[in-house]
Protein backbone atom coordinates (compact mmCIF):
# COMPACT_ATOMS: atom_id res chain seq x y z
CA UNK A 1 0.00 0.00 0.00
CA UNK A 2 1.25 3.44 -0.84
CA UNK A 3 0.51 6.53 1.19
CA UNK A 4 1.06 9.78 -0.65
CA UNK A 5 0.08 13.31 0.25
CA UNK A 6 -3.50 14.05 -0.89
CA UNK A 7 -2.96 17.23 -2.88
CA UNK A 8 0.25 15.90 -4.34
CA UNK A 9 -1.18 12.87 -6.05
CA UNK A 10 -4.17 14.34 -7.82
CA UNK A 11 -2.55 17.53 -9.01
CA UNK A 12 0.71 16.07 -10.13
CA UNK A 13 -0.36 13.35 -12.50
CA UNK A 14 1.60 13.75 -15.67
CA UNK A 15 0.53 12.75 -19.12
CA UNK A 16 1.79 9.36 -20.09
CA UNK A 17 4.07 9.86 -23.00
CA UNK A 18 4.29 6.45 -24.60
CA UNK A 19 1.86 3.64 -24.43
CA UNK A 20 3.26 1.04 -22.12
CA UNK A 21 3.04 -2.66 -22.79
CA UNK A 22 -0.28 -3.54 -21.21
CA UNK A 23 0.55 -5.45 -18.07
CA UNK A 24 -0.59 -8.99 -17.64
CA UNK A 25 -1.57 -10.19 -14.22
CA UNK A 26 2.14 -10.84 -13.59
CA UNK A 27 5.15 -9.34 -15.37
CA UNK A 28 8.47 -9.66 -13.62
CA UNK A 29 12.00 -8.75 -14.58
CA UNK A 30 15.68 -9.25 -13.90
CA UNK A 31 17.57 -5.98 -14.27
CA UNK A 32 21.32 -6.36 -13.72
CA UNK A 33 23.80 -3.51 -14.11
CA UNK A 34 26.90 -4.47 -16.09
CA UNK A 35 29.24 -2.98 -13.49
CA UNK A 36 30.87 -6.37 -12.95
CA UNK A 37 30.23 -10.03 -13.70
CA UNK A 38 27.18 -11.70 -12.18
CA UNK A 39 27.85 -13.43 -8.84
CA UNK A 40 25.96 -15.80 -6.57
CA UNK A 41 23.83 -12.94 -5.17
CA UNK A 42 22.74 -12.03 -8.71
CA UNK A 43 21.86 -15.69 -9.30
CA UNK A 44 19.54 -15.65 -6.27
CA UNK A 45 17.70 -12.67 -7.75
CA UNK A 46 17.50 -14.24 -11.20
CA UNK A 47 16.23 -17.58 -9.85
CA UNK A 48 13.69 -16.03 -7.47
CA UNK A 49 12.32 -13.53 -9.98
CA UNK A 50 12.09 -16.24 -12.68
CA UNK A 51 10.48 -18.93 -10.53
CA UNK A 52 8.05 -16.47 -8.96
CA UNK A 53 6.92 -15.20 -12.37
CA UNK A 54 6.71 -18.59 -14.05
CA UNK A 55 4.95 -20.26 -11.13
CA UNK A 56 2.18 -17.70 -11.67
CA UNK A 57 2.21 -18.10 -15.46
CA UNK A 58 3.75 -14.65 -15.66
CA UNK A 59 6.17 -12.98 -18.07
CA UNK A 60 9.86 -12.58 -17.18
CA UNK A 61 11.86 -9.86 -18.89
CA UNK A 62 15.55 -9.02 -18.82
CA UNK A 63 16.77 -5.43 -18.85
CA UNK A 64 20.39 -4.34 -18.80
CA UNK A 65 20.75 -1.23 -16.64
CA UNK A 66 23.71 0.41 -18.29
CA UNK A 67 23.08 4.16 -18.01
CA UNK A 68 26.12 4.65 -15.78
CA UNK A 69 28.61 4.35 -18.61
CA UNK A 70 31.77 5.16 -16.57
CA UNK A 71 30.98 2.24 -14.23
CA UNK A 72 30.47 -0.35 -16.97
CA UNK A 73 32.96 -3.17 -16.46
CA UNK A 74 34.44 -4.56 -19.66
CA UNK A 75 33.04 -7.96 -20.55
CA UNK A 76 30.33 -7.94 -17.90
CA UNK A 77 27.53 -7.47 -20.39
CA UNK A 78 28.49 -10.54 -22.37
CA UNK A 79 28.92 -12.46 -19.10
CA UNK A 80 25.34 -11.54 -18.11
CA UNK A 81 23.98 -12.71 -21.47
CA UNK A 82 26.04 -15.92 -21.35
CA UNK A 83 24.80 -16.65 -17.81
CA UNK A 84 21.17 -16.23 -18.80
CA UNK A 85 21.65 -18.87 -21.46
CA UNK A 86 23.90 -21.24 -19.49
CA UNK A 87 21.63 -21.23 -16.43
CA UNK A 88 18.60 -22.10 -18.54
CA UNK A 89 16.59 -18.87 -18.21
CA UNK A 90 14.24 -18.10 -21.08
CA UNK A 91 13.33 -14.41 -21.14
CA UNK A 92 10.17 -13.20 -22.82
CA UNK A 93 10.64 -10.62 -25.53
CA UNK A 94 13.82 -8.79 -26.41
CA UNK A 95 16.42 -7.92 -23.83
CA UNK A 96 16.46 -4.15 -23.55
CA UNK A 97 19.45 -1.90 -22.83
CA UNK A 98 18.86 1.37 -21.01
CA UNK A 99 21.64 3.17 -22.82
CA UNK A 100 19.51 2.92 -25.99
CA UNK A 101 16.59 4.61 -24.26
CA UNK A 102 18.10 7.88 -23.06
CA UNK A 103 15.70 9.95 -25.16
CA UNK A 104 12.76 8.39 -23.31
CA UNK A 105 14.16 9.35 -19.89
CA UNK A 106 14.88 12.87 -21.19
CA UNK A 107 11.25 13.18 -22.28
CA UNK A 108 10.05 12.20 -18.82
CA UNK A 109 12.41 14.79 -17.34
CA UNK A 110 10.81 17.38 -19.62
CA UNK A 111 7.38 16.40 -18.27
CA UNK A 112 8.65 16.86 -14.73
CA UNK A 113 10.18 20.23 -15.62
CA UNK A 114 6.92 21.40 -17.16
CA UNK A 115 5.17 20.60 -13.88
CA UNK A 116 7.88 22.37 -11.84
CA UNK A 117 8.68 19.15 -10.00
CA UNK A 118 12.43 19.27 -10.57
CA UNK A 119 15.19 21.85 -10.30
CA UNK A 120 18.79 22.28 -11.33
CA UNK A 121 21.35 21.74 -8.59
CA UNK A 122 24.93 22.93 -8.71
CA UNK A 123 26.04 21.40 -5.41
CA UNK A 124 29.06 19.19 -5.76
CA UNK A 125 29.48 16.05 -3.71
CA UNK A 126 32.05 17.94 -1.62
CA UNK A 127 29.58 20.73 -0.85
CA UNK A 128 27.04 18.20 0.39
CA UNK A 129 29.39 17.10 3.16
CA UNK A 130 28.63 14.07 5.27
CA UNK A 131 24.91 14.76 5.51
CA UNK A 132 23.35 12.52 2.92
CA UNK A 133 19.98 14.25 3.09
CA UNK A 134 19.94 17.16 0.71
CA UNK A 135 19.40 20.49 2.43
CA UNK A 136 17.51 22.18 -0.44
CA UNK A 137 20.36 24.63 -1.09
CA UNK A 138 19.44 25.03 -4.77
CA UNK A 139 15.71 24.34 -4.56
CA UNK A 140 14.63 27.96 -4.95
CA UNK A 141 17.54 29.32 -6.96
CA UNK A 142 15.89 28.64 -10.35
CA UNK A 143 19.21 27.83 -11.99
CA UNK A 144 19.24 26.95 -15.69
CA UNK A 145 19.19 23.18 -16.23
CA UNK A 146 22.13 22.91 -18.62
CA UNK A 147 25.21 21.18 -17.15
CA UNK A 148 23.69 20.84 -13.69
CA UNK A 149 22.32 17.91 -11.76
CA UNK A 150 18.51 17.62 -11.75
CA UNK A 151 16.77 16.90 -8.47
CA UNK A 152 13.18 15.91 -7.77
CA UNK A 153 11.29 18.07 -5.28
CA UNK A 154 9.85 15.76 -2.68
CA UNK A 155 6.96 16.57 -0.37
CA UNK A 156 6.72 15.98 3.34
CA UNK A 157 4.91 12.68 3.00
CA UNK A 158 5.32 9.25 4.40
CA UNK A 159 5.52 6.51 1.81
CA UNK A 160 4.84 2.95 2.94
CA UNK A 161 4.62 -0.33 1.13
CA UNK A 162 4.01 -3.93 2.07
CA UNK A 163 6.95 -6.06 0.99
CA UNK A 164 6.07 -9.71 0.39
CA UNK A 165 9.04 -10.88 2.47
CA UNK A 166 10.21 -7.96 4.56
CA UNK A 167 6.77 -6.72 5.65
CA UNK A 168 5.76 -3.08 5.95
CA UNK A 169 8.47 -0.58 5.08
CA UNK A 170 8.04 3.19 5.42
CA UNK A 171 10.09 6.35 4.88
CA UNK A 172 9.43 9.99 5.62
CA UNK A 173 10.43 11.19 2.21
CA UNK A 174 11.55 14.73 2.92
CA UNK A 175 13.25 14.27 6.27
CA UNK A 176 14.75 10.82 5.78
CA UNK A 177 15.63 10.88 2.09
CA UNK A 178 15.40 14.45 0.78
CA UNK A 179 15.22 15.77 -2.79
CA UNK A 180 17.00 13.18 -4.91
CA UNK A 181 18.96 13.28 -8.14
CA UNK A 182 17.34 12.12 -11.39
CA UNK A 183 20.15 13.21 -13.68
CA UNK A 184 23.75 13.81 -12.67
CA UNK A 185 25.87 16.81 -13.52
CA UNK A 186 27.84 14.66 -15.96
CA UNK A 187 24.60 13.99 -17.87
CA UNK A 188 24.14 10.41 -16.65
CA UNK A 189 20.52 9.44 -16.04
CA UNK A 190 20.17 8.15 -12.50
CA UNK A 191 19.05 4.62 -11.78
CA UNK A 192 15.96 5.87 -9.86
CA UNK A 193 14.51 7.54 -12.94
CA UNK A 194 15.38 4.86 -15.48
CA UNK A 195 14.05 2.01 -13.33
CA UNK A 196 10.70 3.69 -12.69
CA UNK A 197 10.17 4.62 -16.33
CA UNK A 198 11.16 1.22 -17.69
CA UNK A 199 9.16 -0.78 -15.16
CA UNK A 200 6.17 1.22 -16.35
CA UNK A 201 6.87 1.05 -20.08
CA UNK A 202 7.58 -2.68 -19.91
CA UNK A 203 4.32 -3.27 -18.06
CA UNK A 204 6.09 -4.70 -15.01
CA UNK A 205 3.74 -5.60 -12.15
CA UNK A 206 6.07 -7.44 -9.74
CA UNK A 207 9.60 -6.50 -8.65
CA UNK A 208 11.79 -9.20 -7.08
CA UNK A 209 15.30 -7.97 -6.18
CA UNK A 210 17.91 -7.83 -3.42
CA UNK A 211 17.17 -6.25 -0.04
CA UNK A 212 20.03 -3.77 -0.65
CA UNK A 213 17.51 -1.89 -2.80
CA UNK A 214 14.79 -1.69 -0.12
CA UNK A 215 15.67 1.89 0.78
CA UNK A 216 15.30 3.01 -2.82
CA UNK A 217 11.78 1.70 -3.08
CA UNK A 218 9.95 4.61 -1.42
CA UNK A 219 11.70 7.04 -3.78
CA UNK A 220 10.63 4.94 -6.75
CA UNK A 221 7.05 4.62 -5.49
CA UNK A 222 6.86 8.40 -5.05
CA UNK A 223 8.26 9.16 -8.49
CA UNK A 224 5.97 6.57 -10.09
CA UNK A 225 2.95 8.10 -8.37
CA UNK A 226 3.90 11.61 -9.60
CA UNK A 227 4.03 10.22 -13.11
CA UNK A 228 0.67 8.51 -12.74
CA UNK A 229 2.13 5.00 -13.11
CA UNK A 230 0.41 2.03 -11.47
CA UNK A 231 1.74 0.64 -8.19
CA UNK A 232 3.99 -2.41 -8.21
CA UNK A 233 4.23 -5.39 -5.90
CA UNK A 234 7.66 -5.75 -4.24
CA UNK A 235 9.65 -8.63 -2.85
CA UNK A 236 13.14 -7.91 -1.50
CA UNK A 237 15.27 -11.01 -1.13
CA UNK A 238 17.80 -11.66 1.62
CA UNK A 239 21.37 -10.93 0.56
CA UNK A 240 24.05 -13.59 0.32
CA UNK A 241 26.92 -12.62 2.65
CA UNK A 242 30.58 -13.57 2.39
CA UNK A 243 32.61 -14.93 5.30
CA UNK A 244 33.56 -11.40 6.37
CA UNK A 245 29.89 -10.55 6.83
CA UNK A 246 29.76 -8.35 3.71
CA UNK A 247 27.10 -8.71 1.06
CA UNK A 248 28.39 -10.27 -2.14
CA UNK A 249 29.04 -7.44 -4.54
CA UNK A 250 31.25 -6.41 -7.36
CA UNK A 251 33.04 -4.02 -4.95
CA UNK A 252 33.81 -6.90 -2.59
CA UNK A 253 35.16 -8.89 -5.51
CA UNK A 254 32.51 -11.59 -5.37
CA UNK A 255 33.40 -14.52 -7.60
CA UNK A 256 31.98 -14.37 -11.11
CA UNK A 257 29.42 -17.12 -11.81
CA UNK A 258 31.20 -20.01 -13.49
CA UNK A 259 29.18 -21.13 -16.51
CA UNK A 260 30.73 -24.60 -16.35
CA UNK A 261 29.28 -25.04 -12.86
CA UNK A 262 25.75 -23.92 -13.74
CA UNK A 263 23.85 -27.00 -12.42
CA UNK A 264 25.68 -27.04 -9.07
CA UNK A 265 25.33 -23.28 -8.61
CA UNK A 266 21.63 -23.46 -9.46
CA UNK A 267 21.17 -26.19 -6.89
CA UNK A 268 22.95 -24.03 -4.29
CA UNK A 269 20.83 -20.98 -5.13
CA UNK A 270 17.60 -22.96 -4.82
CA UNK A 271 18.85 -24.33 -1.50
CA UNK A 272 19.80 -20.83 -0.26
CA UNK A 273 16.25 -19.69 -1.02
CA UNK A 274 15.15 -22.65 1.14
CA UNK A 275 13.09 -24.18 -1.62
CA UNK A 276 12.60 -27.96 -1.94
CA UNK A 277 15.69 -29.61 -3.44
CA UNK A 278 15.96 -30.11 -7.21
CA UNK A 279 17.82 -32.92 -8.99
CA UNK A 280 21.07 -32.15 -10.79
CA UNK A 281 20.16 -32.01 -14.45
CA UNK A 282 20.26 -29.65 -17.38
CA UNK A 283 19.63 -26.13 -15.98
CA UNK A 284 16.37 -25.73 -17.91
CA UNK A 285 14.96 -28.87 -16.32
CA UNK A 286 16.21 -27.88 -12.87
CA UNK A 287 14.41 -24.55 -13.19
CA UNK A 288 11.24 -26.30 -14.33
CA UNK A 289 11.36 -28.44 -11.18
CA UNK A 290 12.05 -25.38 -9.01
CA UNK A 291 9.08 -23.57 -10.58
CA UNK A 292 6.77 -26.52 -9.92
CA UNK A 293 7.90 -26.58 -6.27
CA UNK A 294 8.16 -22.79 -5.78
CA UNK A 295 6.92 -21.65 -2.38
CA UNK A 296 7.54 -18.02 -1.37
CA UNK A 297 6.58 -18.74 2.23
CA UNK A 298 9.79 -20.79 2.60
CA UNK A 299 12.18 -17.96 1.63
CA UNK A 300 13.91 -16.62 4.76
CA UNK A 301 12.28 -13.33 5.82
CA UNK A 302 15.48 -11.54 6.64
CA UNK A 303 17.87 -9.05 5.13
CA UNK A 304 21.00 -11.21 5.25
CA UNK A 305 21.69 -14.87 4.48
CA UNK A 306 24.67 -15.96 6.55
CA UNK A 307 26.25 -18.75 4.60
CA UNK A 308 29.82 -17.90 3.69
CA UNK A 309 29.02 -17.42 0.04
CA UNK A 310 31.84 -16.55 -2.31
Residue from 189, 242, 153 nearest 70 by CA: 189
Write the CA distances from 310 to 32, 213, 249, 250, integer angstroms: 19, 21, 10, 11
CB of 128 to ligand GLU, least distance (A): 23
41 or 283: whose CB is closer to ligand GLU?
A: 41
Calpha distance 178→151 (Å, rounded): 10
Q: Are 82 and 38 in contact (CB under 8 A)?
A: no
H or E stretch at 128 = helix 125-128
CB of 22 to ligand GLU, least distance (A): 21
CB of 209 to ligand GLU, least distance (A): 4
CB of 30 to ligand GLU, least distance (A): 8
165 or 213: whose CB is closer to ligand GLU?
A: 213
Q: Are 57 and 92 in contact (CB under 8 A)?
A: no
111 or 192: whose CB is closer to ligand GLU?
A: 192
CB of 105 to ligand GLU, least distance (A): 15
Residues of this chain that interact with ligand GLU (CB under 6 A) are 31-33, 65, 195, 209, 213
Per this entry, what is the length of the chain?
310
Q: How is the chain split among helix, strand and coil, in percent rounded to 5?
A: 40, 15, 45
100 or 282: whose CB is closer to ligand GLU?
A: 100
128 or 214: whose CB is closer to ligand GLU?
A: 214
Amino acid sequence: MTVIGGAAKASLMLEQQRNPVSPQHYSGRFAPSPTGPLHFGSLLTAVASYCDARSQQGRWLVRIEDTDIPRIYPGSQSHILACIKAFGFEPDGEIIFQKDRLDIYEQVLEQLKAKDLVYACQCTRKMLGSNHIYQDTCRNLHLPFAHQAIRLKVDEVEICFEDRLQGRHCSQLKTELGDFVLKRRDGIINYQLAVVVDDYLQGITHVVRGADLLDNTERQIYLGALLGYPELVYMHLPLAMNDQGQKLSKQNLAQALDLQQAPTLLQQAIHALQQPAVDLDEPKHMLAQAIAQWDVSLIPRQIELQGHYL
